[in-house]
Amino acid sequence: MRSLVFLLLLAVASAKVYDRCDLARILKASGMDGYRGNTLPNWVCLTKWESSYNTDAINHNTDGSTDYGIFQINSRYWCNDGKTPRAKNVCGISCSELLSGNLAVAINCAKRVVQDPNGIGAWVAWRNHCQGRDLSSYVAGCGV
């Protein structure tokens, strides 16, 4: 019985690749639609191009920092991975927390990122793939 409970807890805590509409519903329920003036399609587009909706995504950057999770949050400024020199950890979290299928920590940190002057433009993928475009297809058919 203990083994089964452990495996269930492990499955819940594990990384996940979200379906576009499932992610859109979670982001909406978490207050992301309209947060700091950013519509839900902007958030879904951002996560598509940053991580392909994958909470386990990791990208190593040339400056020695690493991007983590579905939002690809950077270890230089926003989280602590114990490896990035002069890291700020503005979100006050371990970067490993961003790799969970539970998006609460990642969403809260993303909300913190957009409070800075660059806003959602802090994400290169958003600037390159989402900014100034019709993003309605990112939430089409999702009922949000």
Does 67 participate in catalysis according to the annotation? yes
d(CA 39, CA 44): 9
- 10-49 burial, b at 16+ Cβ within 10 Å, e below that, comes to eeeeeebebebbebbbbbbebebbebeebbbbbbbbbbbb
Catalytic site residue from 33, 50, 81, 97: 50
Q: What is the token pair recorded at 52?
A: 């392909």
Q: DSSP 3-state assignment of 91?
A: coil
Catalytic site residue from 22, 63, 67, 116: 67
Does 81 participate in catalysis according to the annotation? no
The residues carrying an active-site annotation are 50, 67
